[in-house]
């Protein structure tokens, strides 16, 4: 017998991609999946086809996580975001492969996208404890008061991830939402959801509390409609919606006065992002704090 | 073992109606003395724990949708005993609870009222005033709730107070210590005494605190003991211990009231309490009721939920069915 005939061909191990909701990896409640192909139409894997009940469960998880995440110190949030970058770095090769397959890029170009995405986490990790100085501050007022404005997270934010940029675009819309203390429900790119579903695995192992980011895959329009109308969602980022869908969702979102970030054409997701995506989901709280003497005792602050 | 033997064992365990070892006239004698009572309660068929839990779980998988769901939600709302049993209860909080019981969803007046509000005895008068004219009843826990560790005359005084203040229903706790020590007649006598103190005006709910009874067999015994002593309702728990109402222990109690009516003709209500927080859970319990005790119990005179946060979830689900969009906790009261 030759050596060759003794080599048994290894059975291939396919990965079951699953949703990431509330820190767990459930299948879709509906039991449905859909076929995901690469840019040339070759089958890659089956991804869960989420239903509106998955969306509802994600809102419950995000709402539950909001108190803890928004209450964590900005410094701690920064540490966790940086930790995500660290863990991503360790799984860089996997993401390069997934991005290359999803977007039909060369390995070098895909690597550049993944590196930019990792750097993006680091960029937003630095912003968590600095955004308050930039958009908040002390206001001079004509009276014996300290008047302070500080940015507060809006709450539960639904994010429609960009359809084309399956990873860098995805990170560029998630990170600014959670950096400031919001919790997010992310609808992955409909055509190429695999990098987003794999990102869930990274988030689950990066000290990010369960429920802060919830990743759903499936038909964007089907999942987004109940989320836009959901009374317990506070804001929606329409980055991944086309014009007709964006209009429809904005009308539904008006019902409980959600903050809406309209889709803007982005040619190059690797350009410096600025603070705009963070401030879109912040609310300004202003407090008036009395100074000077208070009553007969003459005490003052 | 022969095939026939196997079959009969199977039938004994899983047969629909468990045949009780007594006939109706014999039931009158079982409370004659401690030993007859003990013999009767220990003669009840043992509970097949695995079978019970499997049946409760399988009945929980029914899918209830659209019009059936709307009916179930309204029925569940009408069965809620809206409860506040905290040391920090204030008259203001009880009044707010009363207002909520009378008009659970102020934005939709077609919402049914809840069955009752459930408070401590000293809050009965306040609660009575808060729900006046709405048809909502006032239930009061009594008998040194939740531990039940007090002398009988103290417990009876507690009951008299609540009844005098106008309580329509009394939720008593059994003496679990005596029950677990096997002093069944003592427990029986206590329930009889409390029932007498309730008089004709108040219905009596007997709380077993199933989480403290350790075994399903004990829950079955306690159910029969309570019913023999004249309980109008048997209730799972106080909501103050780790394990409260579960589908399995409620199923067991539903079987007990079904069998009790089959033997004596007397219908007794069931009230699971504690730990039921979502509409989905509540609907599962309604399925249990329908499949076990039957339609006669699908009425708030015979079945109740002891709960506080459940009502908000039922209201949110009701809003979802009415408007087509998911509601949120910002649209129901915080209590």
Domain residue spans in chain A?
A: 52-300
pLDDT (average), residues B102-118: 95
Q: Are B326 and A255 a contacting pair at CB < 8 A?
A: no
Report the relative pairing of strands B116-119 and B137-142 from DSSP bridges.
Answer: parallel
Active site residues of B: 171, 235, 271
| Total residue count of chain A as it appears in this document | 301
**Token couple for A119:** 């750097």
Query: Is the model's pLDDT at B6 over the cut of 60?
Result: no
Give the chain A residue whose CA is nearest to the CA of B323: A229
**Token couple for A135:** 């958009």
pLDDT (average), residues A270-298: 85
Q: pLDDT digits over A38-59, tens only?
A: 989 999 999 999 999 999 999 9
Give the residue among B305, B287, B294 at the shortest CA–CA distance from B257.
B294
As beta bridge partners, residue B328 has: none
Decide: B116 and B329 in contact? Cβ < 8 Å.
no
Q: Are A229 and B324 a contacting pair at CB < 8 A?
A: yes
Q: What is the CATH number of domain B46-324?
A: 3.20.20.70
Report the relative pairing of strands A33-37 and A43-48 from DSSP bridges.
Answer: antiparallel
Q: Are B325 and A232 a contacting pair at CB < 8 A?
A: no
**Cβ atoms within 10 Å of A134's Cβ, excluding its own:** 12
Question: DSSP string spanning A71-101?
Answer: HS-HHHHHHHHHHHHHHHHHTHHHHHHHHHH
**pTM tops 0.95, yes or no:** no
- The Cα–Cα gap between B249 and B80 comes to 19
In the prediction, which pLDDT does A296 show? 56
Largest CA distance in chain A: 104
Write down the CATH superfamily of domain A52-300. Aldehyde Dehydrogenase; Chain A, domain 1 (3.40.605.10)
- The Cα–Cα gap between A103 and A167 comes to 10
Query: Is the model's pLDDT at B313 over the cut of 50?
Result: yes
- The Cα–Cα gap between B306 and B325 comes to 28
Query: Alpha carbon of A183 to those of A85, A142, A178, A209: distances in Å?
Result: 18, 37, 6, 10
Residues of B in contact with A256 (CB under 8 A): 328, 330
Phi-psi region of A34 (alpha: psi -120 to 50; beta: other; left: phi over 0): beta
Give the residue among B141, B79, B85 at the shortest CA–CA distance from B113.
B79
- The Cα–Cα gap between B133 and B314 comes to 24
Higher pLDDT, A270 or B4: A270
- The Cα–Cα gap between B306 and B230 comes to 21
Give the chain B residue whose CA is nearest to the CA of A56: B326
B329 touches chain A (CB under 8 A): yes
Task: Name every residue whose Cβ is closer than 8 Å to that of residue B147 and which is 6 or more positions away in sequence.
Answer: B173
Residues of B in contact with A51 (CB under 8 A): none
Query: Alpha carbon of A283 to those of A177, A254, A300: distances in Å?
Result: 13, 17, 30
Decide: B187 and B179 in contact? Cβ < 8 Å.
yes
Selected for mutation to probe chain B from A30, A231, A236, A255 (highest B CB count within 10 Å) is A231
Q: pLDDT digits over A185-239, tens only?
A: 999 999 999 999 999 999 999 999 999 999 999 999 999 999 999 999 999 999 9
B326 touches chain A (CB under 8 A): yes
**Token couple for B165:** 């203040």
**H or E stretch including A36?**
strand A33-37
Selected for mutation to probe chain A from B280, B328, B331 (highest A CB count within 10 Å) is B328
Domains of chain B, residue spans: 1-43, 46-324
Phi, psi of B273 (to 5 degrees): -145, 140
As beta bridge partners, residue B303 has: B270
Selected for mutation to probe chain A from B277, B312, B319, B326 (highest A CB count within 10 Å) is B326
Query: Is the model's pLDDT at A300 over the cut of 90?
Result: no
- The torsion defined by the Cα of B3, B4, B8 and B13, in degrees rounded to 10, comes to 10
Whether this model's ipTM surpasses 0.85 comes out as no
Query: Is the model's pLDDT at A294 over the cut of 60?
Result: no
Q: Are B326 and A63 a contacting pair at CB < 8 A?
A: no
pLDDT (average), residues A161-176: 97
Question: DSSP string spanning A37-50?
Answer: E-TTS-EEEEEE--
Task: Give the closest of B325, B329, B330 to A229, CB-based.
Answer: B325
Residues of A in contact with B278 (CB under 8 A): none
Q: What is the average pLDDT score of chain A? A: 94
Q: pLDDT digits over A74-128, tens only?
A: 999 999 999 999 999 999 999 999 999 999 999 999 999 999 999 999 999 999 9
């Amino acid at each position: 017998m030759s050596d060759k005939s003794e080599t048994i061909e290894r059975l291939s191990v396919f990965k079951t991609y699953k949703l990431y909701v509330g820190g767990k990896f459930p299948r879709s409640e509906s039991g449905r999946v859909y076929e995901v192909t690469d840019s040339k139409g070759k089958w890659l894997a089956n991804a869960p086809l989420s239903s509106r009940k998955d969306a509802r469960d994600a809102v419950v998880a995000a709402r539950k996580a909001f108190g803890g995440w928004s209450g964590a110190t900005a410094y701690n949030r920064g540490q966790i975001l940086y930790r995500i970058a660290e863990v991503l770095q360790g799984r860089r090769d996997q993401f390069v492969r997934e991005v290359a397959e999803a977007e039909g890029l060369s390995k070098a170009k895909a690597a550049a996208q993944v590196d930019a995405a990792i750097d993006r986490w680091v960029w937003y990790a630095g912003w968590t404890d600095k955004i308050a100085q930039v958009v908040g501050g002390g206001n001079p007022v004509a009276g014996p008061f300290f008047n302070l404005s500080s940015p507060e997270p809006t709450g539960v934010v639904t994010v429609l991830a960009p359809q084309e940029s399956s990873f860098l675009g995805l990170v560029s819309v998630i990170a600014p939402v959670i950096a400031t203390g919001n919790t997010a429900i992310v609808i992955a790119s409909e055509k190429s959801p695999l990098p987003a579903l794999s990102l869930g695995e990274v988030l689950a192992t990066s000290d990010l509390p369960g429920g802060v980011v919830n990743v759903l895959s499936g038909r964007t329009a089907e999942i987004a409609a109940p989320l836009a109308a959901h009374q317990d969602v506070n804001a929606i980022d329409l980055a991944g919606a086309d014009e007709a869908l964006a209009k429809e969702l904005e009308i539904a979102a008006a019902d409980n006065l959600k903050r809406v970030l309209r889709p803007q054409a982005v040619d190059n997701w690797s350009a410096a992002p600025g603070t705009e995506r963070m401030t879109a989901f912040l609310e300004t709280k202003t407090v008036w704090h009395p100074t000077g003497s208070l009553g007969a005792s003459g005490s003052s602050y | 073992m022969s095939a026939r033997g196997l079959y009969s064992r199977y039938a004994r365990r899983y047969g629909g109606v468990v045949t009780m070892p007594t006939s109706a006239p014999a039931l009158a004698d079982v409370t004659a003395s401690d030993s007859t009572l003990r013999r009767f309660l220990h003669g009840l068929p043992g509970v097949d724990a695995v079978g019970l839990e499997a049946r409760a779980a399988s009945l929980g998988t029914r899918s209830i949708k659209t019009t059936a769901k709307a009916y179930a939600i309204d029925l569940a709302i009408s069965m809620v005993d809206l409860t506040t049993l905290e040391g920090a209860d204030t008259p203001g909080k009880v009044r707010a609870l009363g207002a909520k019981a009378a008009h659970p969803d102020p934005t939709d007046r077609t919402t049914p009222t809840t069955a009752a509000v459930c408070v401590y005895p000293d809050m009965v008068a306040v609660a009575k005033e808060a729900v006046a004219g709405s048809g909502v009843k006032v239930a009061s826990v009594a008998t040194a709730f939740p531990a039940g560790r007090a002398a009988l005359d103290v417990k009876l005084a507690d009951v008299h107070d609540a009844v005098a203040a106008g309580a329509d229903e009394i939720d008593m706790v059994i003496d679990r210590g005596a029950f677990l020590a096997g002093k069944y007649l003592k427990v029986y006598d206590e329930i009889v005494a409390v029932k007498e103190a309730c008089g004709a005006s108040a219905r009596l709910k007997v709380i077993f605190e199933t989480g403290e009874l350790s075994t399903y067999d004990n829950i079955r015994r306690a159910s029969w003991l309570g019913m023999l002593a004249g309980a109008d309702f048997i209730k799972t728990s106080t909501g103050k211990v780790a394990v409260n109402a579960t589908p399995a222990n409620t199923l067991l109690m539903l079987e007990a009231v079904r069998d009790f009516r089959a033997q004596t003709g007397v219908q007794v209500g069931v009230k699971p309490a504690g730990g039921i927080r979502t509409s989905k859970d509540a609907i599962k319990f309604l399925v249990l009721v329908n499949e076990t005790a039957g339609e006669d119990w699908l009425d708030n005179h015979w079945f109740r939920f002891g709960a506080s946060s459940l009502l908000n979830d039922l209201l949110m689900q009701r809003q979802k069915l009415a408007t087509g969009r998911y509601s949120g906790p910002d649209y129901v009261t915080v209590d």
